[in-house]
Structure 1
Amino acid sequence: MRDRVVAQLDAAVRAPLTLVTAPAGWGKTAALVAWARTARLGDGNEAPVVRWVTSHSAHGADVPGQLLGALSTQPDDELDKTGEWYEDDLLKAVDALDRPHIVVVDDVREISDPEALTELESLVRHGMGQLHLVLSCRRDPALPLYRWRVNGSLTEMRTNDLSLTITETAQLLAAHDVVLPGSTLYALHSITEGWPAGVRLAAMAMRGHPEPERVLDDGGAFSTAVGDFLTGEVIDSLPADTRQLLLDTAVAPRLNAGLVEAITGRDDGARVLAELKGSNAFLSRNAGPGGWYRFHPLFARTLHAELLRRNPERVPELHRRAAAWHATYGIPAEALRHALLAEDWHGAVEVLDRHWPDIVGGVRYDRPHEAAPHAPGVEEAADPHLVLAFAAERLRVGDLDGARDFLRRSDRDGGSPMLAGFAAAEAWLAGDARRTLAALPDLHPNTDEVRALALLDEGEARLRLGELAAAGAPLHGALVLAQRAGMAQAQVRAASQLAVLESTRGRLRAAARLGRQALVTADRFGITDATDLGWVRMALASVYGEWDRIAEADRLLDEGLDLAAGDPDLLVAIATVRARLRHGAGRLAAALEVLHAARRELGGAPLAPAVERALALTEAELRISGGDLGAARRLVATGGDPDVFPGWAACVDASAALVEGKAAAAASTAAQFATPSTDSALTWTVHAAILTSLAGRALGDRNRVLRGLETALDIAEEESFRRPFLVGGHPVRDLLANFAPLLPVYHPLAAELAAGSSPLAGGSRGGGDGNLVEPLTERELTVLRYLQGTMSNLEIASTLYVSVNTVKTHVKNIYRKLHAGRRREAVERARELRLL
């Protein structure tokens, strides 16, 4: 069982009452069983008595009686022969306890009997520290939970706590002898959202399958198994009217009160959604102001399949109602999708003609759970705008070949702004930013909507090309126009790309503000699965990493991965941010493995110039920390377009020069970017200023030290930078401690950072190798650093551009010099000697 969940339970059960609440298949019982084997209270030295009760009662009225049986010291046949329990019995049993007891009541379906509820309330109030009650439920019991949350009597574990992480998903698959490539693993985690039962069913279907990546979409054993489980455990257990409501709303992957009422004809949509969420019917509410809910992806797929099986005649009308509602409330892409699924060709063309800039401008890999709309017949296909409507739908879900096919069929309206907009969108989907720019002259900006789309396409293309200075103005202009024109999807896309731009430029506060704006706007319009939101999370993770808020950054990267399937640029961008986080934590081998995994996943696929350059420069930073300066310089010289991120490249070159003891060269290289300017990226201004300060100290140039340090601290305090100082290790802390007090303005940040401990050793051996009879060579130290991770000798050889036999020789020498017989022993010995 996962150590993470067991640790959470250990912390949770210190309260009088713990609720473990999640839908079917979320591993509640498995988690409790694993935890109960090692349960501890207090400081971990006190082993309580753990009693287990399984409740299958329809009403839960017997729960207090079962608790009494679990706590009583008498045999069961000596309890009240009537089988009844009385008001004071449980409290007396608790008073008689001579040591702490934890009673786990598993599978509590419902507790509605007033007397049972009163008795449980008394237990929570008067447990006297001796009784800790754990209830495992599919929905919250009718107890005063709000009151206990306030006074600290209640702790809770819910779906998010029990959901598998991506790493845990991979571990569960491996236990079934299934190993997936990263892209398929991310897709599986995205569609299961960490639901343990879903991952297990996928593992069973994938085991031995010749193409396991096809299992998720082939409608075979996996889909059948999931459908059978969810139908039997959830759908068929619901009241008939609730079940019908769920089936009717299955046409929409996202719901709010108004949409529910439009589809079903009811007038209590808000109440219904709140009750369904409270009952844990695989429905979750999005955070934010929009009032949107969404089904779990696998539950949505199952519901839709059941709708088609039970009520196929209702489906077109349900889609028509959904299309009308979305058209009225400003979400044209959804209106178009529903019109096509209803085969309402006239309605689809009308929506496209009125809103095509927002529909095309919002093209991002959405994840609708339904099959593609059926293509029009020969007669309908004579309308080029209807064919374009189908092209828009294919673009929206990332189907490049399907989009191109429909665009070829529609090429009888050449030269129109609409067709130019589609051409730019198709070029973007193909990853060709320069072709996107080439299509823009034909996108005549005769309205705010068209101008917003043109600016958005230009700004994003320039951002992907690494032309940061040229990307800002069009993206800002697009956001303003999109807001003025009420273009929901264009607003989300513009704010998302601006967040990416500002995080890349080191404008951290602006990036955080724009990222939050994108997420709030997306929630207001029910846009939850767009790839742009993956880019937002990547940008915010980068910001949090610079702020040294690592746990939040990691969480955002995991969320971004769920939206990255099919977008290699986003997958690699996430990998570069994660590698820099690992590097900042002193985990060099783990950071390199993140980048190598990303390269393997690419399989040679082309990247946007900015992403390709960021990947090369990130690896170059890591190679310097590993002592491989030659590889770092090769990456700077040949890794991507050298005109992209010149400040970053200069910092890498200056860092390498400092390691070589060439302080004058380092100072000269870094000085070009050590002064803030309108077009500069503040991240690299801070790094360059720190490097010039370090070089100045090596040169004995006190003025250079103070100038560089003052520039770095001024920017850092304005934008809350932390990482550039932390990764600098002891040399930077020494600068802060000895020179910051000499600056004309006091910087509180300097004192804070100087007092903190660096997660990195700065590449120093720390003098520990003096304990070795035969010191390690520089190349052996480099290999030793890689031995901390899980890279094979072959992978290390590939990384260092040497033969595998050379690596084996180095490893053999390391073992001999460290008196170690295997990798782990060598790493432990090296850490004892402060070599790592």
Structure 2
Amino acid sequence: MPRPRATGREQGSPTWGWALVEIRADGTWGEPRVIPAPGAVEPPLADVRPTAPSSITELSELLKTHLSAARVEDAGRGEVAAVLSRGAEAATPETRSRFLGPLAHVEALQGDLRRAERHVEQAQSGPVDPHGDSGRAHAVLAQAWVALERADFHGARRHLDTLDGVARGHDAWLATSHVLLDAKLSISVGAPETATRLLAAWEDAAPAVGSDWLSELVTVARAEALIASGEPHRAMALLTPVPRHAVVEAMVTAALARRMIGDVRGALAVLSRAVTDLDHAPLALQIEAWLLEARMAADQRRPDRARLLTDRALRSATSEGMRRAVMRDGAWLRRTVERDPVLLRKHREFLATCPGDDHATARPAPVGPILGADADRLRPSLLTERESQVLELLAQMNSTEEIAEALFVSTNTVKTHLKGIFGKLGVNRRVDAVRHGRTLGLC
């Protein structure tokens, strides 16, 4: 803590020291003490209070030195946003965009989409900063994140394509955010293999970013892509041991992988370890975690808990228009809400705006050659109506039991339909059936 060098009304500039305490092996604590810090020690980020016009230059340097990926992690994105807000207030109209752009970026990552949109608009409506290329890049990336979370995938791609140079730049935070957004966009439109290749190529080609946190976020995104490809075991292996810095992201993803293999108890155990820090996690991650726990609560015949978590997730998603976060559980959500009059009354309007099974943007572009007129003749006759329904539910990552529940049939009947689908599509695995079915426009 800062300690004044003088007492009374006139005090000198503060000095900085380290507060030390010994924690013994038997659990007891030693006597706390404070020792002077060696050399010059930088004050905490929260203590930077720009008041004079000359502080603009200092804050510009702050963006370069402290808003690196490591500082965003250590200080917390909320603290970084506070510093950027103060910087924007103290900046001149010409320099304000260099603070508003990164501020919008941080807010978009945290799920404050409406606030991010407002700051992007302010950054783009002000005078052009001749030295504000980084600020503009942050603002466009913020727009892309907002579009992604709102399930406006075409808009996200449009913004992303204007920033191809960012991925090759020297700003680790910008470059990593760019590649993560690109990967999540590919997963969202049903092309997880593209995301896997993108992330693997980035890890091979990108220089060291100086932050374990950034590297671990890329690892978690690779695990998400593997889960979306139907390979939960590989995803769990990738997240073992659990990353030290991107803990909450890794825990939620590992819990999803465990649920996919039927280990509900293990999934709940992993998810419970993330609850402590979930309040500080990005809103989209919170929504996904709540819906995951809600589905598992429903599996365990705990309807009250499932209803509570579903309501919380949908209320949060509605507040910011976050449609992507509910897409993975879209089919289950619709069934759950339609069976509950209270949930239906509260959330029917929002769910109607979310991409559904028949929404064009929820489907990926074809990954193989289209058969033209032959494909049009083939589609109606290839699968029976019931097999088509099973394939649709399979494409939404539902288990055999969930498909049986949705169609009001036994699990053995679902397995029989799956065998028929595999035989007609010439595949042996569920993920291959979904991939081939999408190529033919069957799901």
Q: Which of 338, 342, 352 is residue 742 of structure 1 equivalent to?
A: 342
Distance 1:696 1:712 in 2: 14
Look up the equivalent residue of 1:735 and give its one-letter code.
T
Tell me whether 1:582 sits opposite 2:232 in the alignment. no
SS at match of 1:637: coil
Instruction: For 2:224 and 2:264, locate their aligned partners in 1 and report how far apart those are by CA, in whole Å.
Output: 18
- Cα distance in 1 for partners of 2:268, 2:245 equals 21
Question: What is the RMSD computed on CA atoms of the aligned residues?
Answer: 3.7
* 1-structure distance, mates of 2:354, 2:277: 22
1:516 match? 121
**Conservation of the 8 A alpha-carbon contact between 1:674 and 1:685:** no
The aligned amino acid for 2:135 is: D
Q: Do the aligned partners of 1:465 and 1:608 also contact (CA within 8 Å) in 2?
A: no
Q: Is the 8 A contact 1:503 1:542 kept in 2?
A: yes
- The 8 Å contact of residues 538 and 574 in structure 1, kept in 2 or not, is answered as yes
Q: Matched residues in 2 for 1:561 and 1:664: separation?
A: 43
Alpha-carbon shift at residue 652 of structure 1 (Å) = 0.3
CA contact (8 A) 2:422 2:428 kept: no
2:396 aligned residue (762, 770, 783): 762
Quick one: which amino acid aligns to residue 290 of structure 2?
A
Q: Is the 8 A contact 2:294 2:310 kept in 1?
A: yes
Once the 2 structures are TM-superposed, how far is the Cα of residue 698 of structure 1 from its aligned partner? 1.1
1:643 is aligned to 245
Where relative contact order (Cα < 8 A, 6+ residues apart) is larger, the structure is 2
Unaligned ranges ≥5, structure 1: 1-437, 789-826
Match of 2:258 among 641, 644, 657: 657
Partner in structure 2 of residue 687 of structure 1? 288
2:103 is matched with 498
- Note the C-alpha offset of 1:627: 2.4
Question: Conserved in 2, the CA contact under 8 Å of 1:537 and 1:556?
Answer: yes
Q: Distance in 1 between matches of 2:302 and 2:353?
A: 25
Q: Which residue of 1 aligns with 2:169?
A: 566
- In the TM superposition, residue 764 of structure 1 has moved relative to its aligned partner by 5.2
Whether 1:467 and 2:74 are equivalent positions in the alignment is yes
Kindly tell me: are residues 563 and 580 of structure 1, through their superposed partners in 2, closer, same or farther at Cα, counting changes over 3 Å?
A: closer
Letter in 2 for 1:762: Q
Mapped to 2, the partners of 1:488 and 1:439 lie a distance apart of 31
By how many angstroms is 1:656 displaced?
0.8
- Tell me: CA distance 1:742–1:769, structure 2 relative to 1, closer, same or farther (3 Å): farther
Where 1:724 maps in the other structure, the secondary structure is helix
In the alignment, is residue 598 of structure 1 matched against residue 235 of structure 2? no
5 Å matches for 1:22-37? none
C-alpha displacement of 1:714: 0.9
Contact 1:455 1:474 (8 Å CA) reproduced:
no
CA contact (8 A) 1:617 1:636 kept: yes
Alignment of 1:23-62 (within 5 A): none
1:691-706 alignment to 2 at 5 Å?
Answer: 691-706=292-307
1:102 counterpart residue number = none
Q: How many aligned positions are there?
A: 347
Partner of 2:320: 719
Aligned mate of 1:533, from 127, 133, 136: 136
Provide the secondary structure at the position in 1 that maps to 2:308.
helix
Q: In the TM superposition, what is the alpha-carbon distance from 1:622 to its structure 2 partner?
A: 0.8
* Equivalent residue letter for 2:229: G
How has the CA–CA distance of structure 1 residues 476 and 581 changed in structure 2, closer, same or farther, with 3 Å as cutoff?
same
* Alpha-carbon distance change, 702 to 632 in structure 1, aligned in 2, over 3 angstroms: same
Q: TM-score, normalised by structure 2?
A: 0.66
Partner of 1:434: none
Describe the shift of the 1:481–1:465 C-alpha distance in structure 2 as closer, same or farther (beyond 3 A). Answer: closer
Q: Would you say 1:545 and 2:195 are equivalent positions? A: no
TM superposition shift of 1:440:
3.4
When residues 772 and 712 of structure 1 are mapped into structure 2, their CA distance, relative to the original with a 3 A threshold, is: closer
User: Could you tell which deviates more after superposition, 527-536 or 670-679?
Assistant: 670-679
- For 2:315, the aligned partner's letter is D
The 1:439–1:598 alpha-carbon spacing in structure 2 relative to 1, beyond 3 Å, is farther
Which of 477, 481, 484 is matched with 2:90 structurally? 484
Separation of aligned partners in 2, 1:474 and 1:605: 23
1:83-162 mapped onto 2 (5 Å cutoff): none
> Hey, what's the Cα distance between the residues in 1 that align with 2:354 and 2:85?
37
**Which amino acid in structure 2 is aligned with residue 716 of structure 1?**
A
Deviates more, 1:769-778 or 1:554-563: 769-778
Question: How far apart in 2 are the matches of 1:528 and 1:564?
Answer: 19
Q: What SS does structure 2 have at the residue aligned with 1:746?
A: helix
Q: CA deviation at 1:699?
A: 1.0
Q: How does 1:600-615 map to 2 (within 5 A)?
A: 600-602=204-206, 605-615=208-218
Counterpart in 2 of 1:667?
268
C-alpha separation between the residues in 2 aligned to 1:487 and 1:554? Answer: 30
Structure 1-normalised TM-score?
Answer: 0.37
Given the superposition, is the C-alpha separation of residues 678 and 714 from structure 1 closer, same or farther in structure 2, using an over 3 Å criterion? same
1:4-15 correspondence runs (5 A): none
Is this contact kept in 1: 2:427–2:433, CA < 8 A?
no
Aligned pair in 2 of structure 1 residues 832, 770: CA closer, same or farther (>3 Å)?
farther
Code of the aligned partner of 2:134: T
Tell me by how many angstroms 1:548 deviates: 1.0
Q: Is the 8 A contact 2:50 2:59 kept in 1?
A: no
- CA distance in structure 2 between the partners assigned to 1:487 and 1:755 by the alignment: 44
Paired residues of 2:327 and 2:356 also in contact (CA < 8 A): no
The answer to whether the 8 A contact 2:212-2:245 is kept is: no
Asked if the contact 2:255/2:267 (under 8 Å) is kept, the reply is: yes
Secondary structure at 2:227 match in 1? helix
Q: Is the 8 A contact 1:545 1:723 kept in 2?
A: yes
Structure number with larger C-alpha Rg? 1
Letter in 2 for 1:648: E
The one-letter amino acid of 1:770's match is G
Q: How does 1:610-621 map to 2 (within 5 A)?
A: 610-621=213-224
> Hey, what's the Cα distance between the residues in 2 that align with 1:668 and 1:571?
34
Cα drift, residue 648 of structure 1: 1.9
Q: State the 1:544 CA deviation.
A: 0.7
Following the alignment from structure 2 to structure 1, what is the Cα–Cα distance between the partners of residues 44 and 79? 20
Q: Secondary structure at the match of 2:262?
A: coil
> Equivalents in 2 of 1:518, 1:605: separation in Å?
30
1:699, 1:749 → 2: CA distance?
Answer: 27
Give distance in 2, aligned partners of 1:709 and 1:442.
39
Deviates more, 1:587-596 or 1:729-738: 729-738
Quick one: percent identity of the two aligned structures? Answer: 20
Instruction: Give the Cα–Cα distance (whole angstroms) in 2 for the partners of residues 631 and 576 of structure 1.
Output: 19
1:533, CA displacement in angstroms? 2.1
1:763 shift after superposition: 3.3
Match 2:227 to one of 609, 624, 631: 624
For 1:338-377, list aligned pairs within 5 A: none
Query: In 2, Cα distance between the equivalents of 1:734 and 1:606?
Result: 44
SS of corresponding position for 2:169: coil
Q: How does 1:749-828 map to 2 (within 5 A)?
A: 749-753=350-354, 757=358, 759=362, 761-763=395-397, 767-772=417-422, 777-778=428-429, 781=430, 784=432, 827=436
**Partner Cα distance (2:318, 2:427) in 1:** 41
| CA deviations over 1:471-491 (Å, ceiling 9, x no partner) | 4335423432453352743x3
Aligned residues of 1:666 and 1:691 also touching (Cα < 8 A): no
